[in-house]
Amino acid sequence: MDTSKHVFQLHGVNAAEDPVLRKKLRRKEMVAFFEEAPPTVIAIEACGGST
Contact 11, 22 (CB under 8 A): yes
Q: Output the pLDDT for position 16.
A: 96
Would you list the domain boundaries of the chain? 1-51
Distances (CA, A) of 34 to 16, 31, 49: 22, 5, 26
Higher pLDDT, 4 or 18: 18
Give tens-digit pLDDT for 17-46.
Answer: 999 999 999 888 988 998 998 898 888 877
Q: What is the pTM of this model?
A: 0.63
Contact 6, 26 (CB under 8 A): yes
Give me the mean pLDDT over the 3-22 stretch: 87
